Amino acid sequence: MGKKVGMEVSLAIAEAAKMADTDVVAAYPITPQTHIVERLAELVANGELDAEYIPVESEHSAMSACLGSVATGARTFTATAGQGLELMHEVLYVAASMRLPVIMVVANRALSSPLNVWGDQSDLMAVRDTGWIQLICENGQEAYDTTLYAFRIGEDKRVLLPVMVHVDGFYLTHVIEPIEIPEQEKVNKFLPPFKYPLPLDPDKPVSMGAFAPPILYSETKKAQEVNLRASLPVIREVWDEFEKVFGRKYKAVESYRTEGAKTLLLTLGSFGETAMAAVDKLRDEGQAVGLLKLRLWRPFPFEDLRKAVGDAELLIVIDRALSYGGPGGPAFSEIRSALYSEKKRPRILGFVGGLGGRDLMVAEFEGMVKRAQEMRPKGAEEEFEMYGVRE
Amino acid sequence: MKNLGIYAARLTPPVEGFAPGHRACIGCGEALAVRLACKAAGENIIIANATGCMEVVSSQLPASAWRIPWIHTLFENTAAVASGVEAALKAMTRKGKIADRGTKVIAMAGDGGTSDIGLQALSGALERYHDFLYICFDNEAYMNTGIQRSSATPFGASTTTSPAGKKSIGQKTWKKNMPAIAVAHNIPYVATASPSYPFDMMDKVKKGLAVNGPAYVHILSVCPTGWRSTPDLSVRLGRLAVETGVFPLYEVEDGKYKLSMDVSPLRPLKDYMSIQGRFRHLSEGMVKKIEDRVRKDYEQLKERCA
Ligand SMILES: Cc1ncc(C[n+]2csc(CCOP(=O)(O)OP(=O)(O)O)c2C)c(N)n1
Ligand code: SF4
Ligand SMILES: [Mg+2]
For helices A59-71 and B78-94, what crossing angle results, to 10°?
Answer: 50
> Which residues of chain A neighbour B59 with C-beta distances below 8 Å?
207, 209-211
Specify the pLDDT at position B106.
98
- On the question of a cis peptide bond just before residue B20, with omega within 30 degrees of 0, the verdict is no
Specify the pLDDT at position A130.
98
Element housing B78 (H / E)? helix B78-94
Distance in angstroms between the alpha carbons of the first and the last residue of chain B: 43
> Which residues of chain B neighbour A208 with C-beta distances below 8 Å?
69-72
**How far does CA B259 lie from the centroid of its chain?**
17
Question: Of B144, B171, B223, which is best to mutate to test ligand 1, by the most ligand atoms within 8 angstroms of its C-beta?
Answer: B144
Taking domain A253-386, whether its CATH number is 3.40.50.920 is answered by: yes
pLDDT-derived band at B65 (thresholds 50, 70, 90) equals very high
Alpha-carbon gap, residue B65 to B169, rounded angstroms: 39
What ipTM was estimated for this complex? 0.97
Of B66, B84, B86, the CB nearest to A205: B66
Contact (CB<8Å) B72/A210: yes
Of B64, B82, B123, the CB nearest to A57: B123
Biggest CA pair distance of chain A: 69
Smallest CA separation from ligand 1 atom 22, residue:
B145
Of B67, B70, B80, the CB nearest to A208: B70
> DSSP code of B116?
I
Contact (CB<8Å) A91/B74: yes
Alpha-carbon gap, residue A382 to A370, rounded angstroms: 16
Burial A295-323 (b: 16+ CB within 10 A, else e): bbbbbbbeebbeebbbebebbbbbbbbbb
Question: How far is the CA of A222 from the CAs of A219, A316, B125, in angstroms?
Answer: 5, 33, 35
Q: Find the B24 Cα to ligand 2 centroid distance in Å.
A: 6
Residue B273, SS3 per DSSP: helix
Q: Do the strands A289-294 and A253-256 form a parallel or antiparallel pair, or are they unpaired? A: antiparallel
Alpha-carbon gap, residue B21 to A319, rounded angstroms: 53
Q: Find the A48 Cα to ligand 3 centroid distance in Å.
A: 45
> Which residues of chain A neighbour B60 with C-beta distances below 8 Å?
210-213
Residue B46 has φ and ψ, to the nearest 5°, of -125, 130
pLDDT-derived band at B248 (thresholds 50, 70, 90) equals very high
- pTM value is 0.97
- Chain A, nearest residue to B123 by Cα: A57
> Which residues of chain A neighbour B128 with C-beta distances below 8 Å?
54-56
More confident residue, B1 or A6: A6
Closest-CA distance of chain B to residue A34, Å:
20
pLDDT exceeds cutoff 80 at B3: no
To 10 degrees, the CA torsion angle through B113, B117, B122, B123?
150
Q: Find the B136 Cα to ligand 2 centroid distance in Å.
A: 14
Closest-CA distance of chain A to residue B280, Å:
35
Contact (CB<8Å) B88/A26: no
Q: Which ligand is nearest to the CA of B110?
A: 1
Nearest atom of ligand 2 to the alpha carbon of B29: 8
pLDDT, tens digit (0-9, with 9 covering 90-100), for A289-327: 999 999 999 999 999 999 999 999 999 999 999 999 998
Q: Answer whether B296's CB lies under 8 Å from B288's CB.
A: no
pLDDT exceeds cutoff 70 at B140: yes
Alpha-carbon gap, residue A61 to B84, rounded angstroms: 9
Q: Who contacts A375 (Cβ-Cβ below 8 Å, separation ≥6)?
A: A349, A382, A383, A385
What proportion of chain B, given as a percentage, has pLDDT over 90? 95
Q: Answer whether B97's CB lies under 8 Å from A50's CB.
A: no
Alpha-carbon gap, residue A254 to A239, rounded angstroms: 13
Q: Which ligand is nearest to the CA of B112?
A: 1
Contact (CB<8Å) A56/B88: no
Specify the pLDDT at position B5.
59
Domain architecture of chain B: domains with CATH: 13-305 (3.40.50.970)
Q: Find the B251 Cα to ligand 3 centroid distance in Å.
A: 22
Q: Answer whether A267's CB lies under 8 Å from A294's CB.
A: yes
**Residue of A49, A54, A93 to mutate for B, most B C-beta atoms under 10 A:** A54
What proportion of chain B, given as a percentage, has pLDDT over 70? 97
> DSSP code of B112?
I
**Residues within 5 A (CB) of ion ligand 3:** B 110-111, 139, 143
Residue B295, SS3 per DSSP: helix
One digit per residue, pLDDT tens: chain A, 391 residues? Answer: 578 999 999 999 999 999 999 999 999 999 999 999 999 999 999 999 999 999 999 999 999 999 999 999 999 999 999 999 999 999 999 999 999 999 999 999 999 999 999 999 999 999 999 999 999 999 999 999 999 999 999 999 999 999 999 999 999 999 999 999 999 999 999 999 999 999 999 999 999 999 999 999 999 999 999 999 999 999 999 999 999 999 999 999 999 999 999 999 999 999 999 999 999 999 999 999 999 999 999 999 999 999 999 999 999 999 999 999 998 999 999 999 999 999 999 999 999 999 999 999 999 999 999 999 999 988 888 999 999 999 8
> Which residues of chain A neighbour B102 with C-beta distances below 8 Å?
none
Alpha-carbon gap, residue B159 to B145, rounded angstroms: 12
What homologous superfamily does CATH list for A3-246?
Thiamin diphosphate (ThDP)-binding fold, Pyr/PP domains (3.40.50.970)
pLDDT-derived band at B137 (thresholds 50, 70, 90) equals very high
Question: Of B53, B145, B150, which is best to mutate to test ligand 2, by the most ligand atoms within 8 angstroms of its C-beta?
Answer: B53
Specify the pLDDT at position B2.
66
Smallest CA separation from ligand 1 atom 4, residue:
B75
Alpha-carbon gap, residue B29 to B235, rounded angstroms: 7
Contact (CB<8Å) B71/A71: yes
How do the domains of chain A map onto residue ranges?
Answer: 3-246, 253-386
Alpha-carbon gap, residue A316 to A370, rounded angstroms: 11
Question: How far is the CA of A158 from the CAs of A155, B106, B183, B240, in angstroms?
Answer: 8, 31, 46, 56
Specify the pLDDT at position B114.
98
> Which residues of chain B neighbour A69 with C-beta distances below 8 Å?
84-85, 87-88
Q: Which residue in B147, B80, B151, B163 sits closest to B112, CA to CA?
A: B151
pLDDT exceeds cutoff 60 at B1: no
Contact (CB<8Å) A64/B74: yes
Do the domains A3-246 and A253-386 sit in the same CATH topology, yes or no? yes
Specify the pLDDT at position A379.
85
What SS3 string covers chain A? CCEEEEEEHHHHHHHHHHHCCCCEEECCCCCCCHHHHHHHHHHHHCCCCCCEEECCCCHHHHHHHHHHHHHCCCCEEEEECHHHHHHCHHHHHHHHHCCCCCEEEEEECCCCCCCCCCCCCHHHHHCHHHCCEEEECCCHHHHHHHHHHHHHHHHCCCCCCCEEEEEECCCCCCCEEEEEECCHHHHHHHCCCCCCCCCCCCCCCCEECCECCHHHHHHHHHHHHHHHHCHHHHHHHHHHHHHHHHCCCCCCEEEECCCCCCEEEEEECCHHHHHHHHHHHHHHCCCCEEEEEECEEECCCHHHHHHHHCCCCEEEEEECCCCCCCCCCHHHHHHHHHHCCCCCCCEEEEEECCHHHCCCCHHHHHHHHHHHHHCCCCCHHHCEEECCCCC
Q: Answer whether A171's CB lies under 8 Å from A200's CB.
A: no
Q: Which residue in B187, B191, B221, B186 sits closest to B206, CA to CA?
A: B191
pLDDT exceeds cutoff 80 at B110: yes
